[in-house]
Homo-oligomer: A and B are copies of this chain.
């Protein structure tokens, strides 16, 4: 989930032809160009045209790889990891405990898979740039859906139940708030600890 400053690395190997390798290269080239330009000039001042030029592709191609400019910064692939890890936990464990374990085990995957500076840039943009923030919140609802499915499978409830959705939203929202808090406080301390505190709050209230 992008809400967690997750990795921006590219998916995995469907078929390792030249074609696929090139696509991955292009993808990361675009992303790296974007990060570089944004660090130099800021988000708004960086146009897709510049990104394209710097990544040595055409603007058309940029939009083929990423539906929107915000997505270049935000797209992450932590959701599948999250889902896999959650499902690998014992089914009788409470979801929130599972989450704690997964965060404990896998958060570093998300954070370390690319330059730490990039993680920090991304979380900062999530806080500072409205367009990025709203896109992130969009993606929050995707992660929320994921969470709903996990809950549904575990409890036998319907994934569309209001209660299920509210609970999922609370969990995902908590993780997102922890991430934003981290960014707002100059990334001091461990994100993991903040997430734990956030989850505690969901569980026990204030």
Contacts and interface: CB of A to CB of B under 8 A. Distances in A.
Interface in A132-172: 133-135, 137-138, 140-141, 151, 155, 157, 162-167, 169-170
A133 B142 CA distance: 13
A134 B126 CA distance: 13
Given A138-B133, A140-B137, A173-B173, A162 B197 contact: yes
A81 interface: no
A65 interface: no
A73 to B, nearest CB: 15
Contact of A164 (B135, B169, B206): B206
B206 A178 contact: no
B206 A167 contact: yes
A177 B171 CA distance: 13
Interface in A160-206: 162-167, 169-170, 173-174, 176-178, 181, 194, 197-198, 200-203, 205-206
A162 B137 contact: no
A166 B202 contact: yes
A167 B141 CA distance: 18
A42 interface: no
A116 interface: no
Interface of A: 95, 130, 133-135, 137-138, 140-141, 151, 155, 157, 162-167, 169-170, 173-174, 176-178, 181, 194, 197-198, 200-203, 205-206
Given A130-B138, A134-B137, A162-B177, 20 more contacts: A134-B135, A134-B138, A137-B137, A137-B138, A157-B206, A162-B178, A163-B197, A163-B198, A163-B201, A165-B177, A166-B173, A166-B174, A167-B201, A167-B206, A169-B170, A169-B173, A169-B174, A169-B176, A170-B173, A173-B173
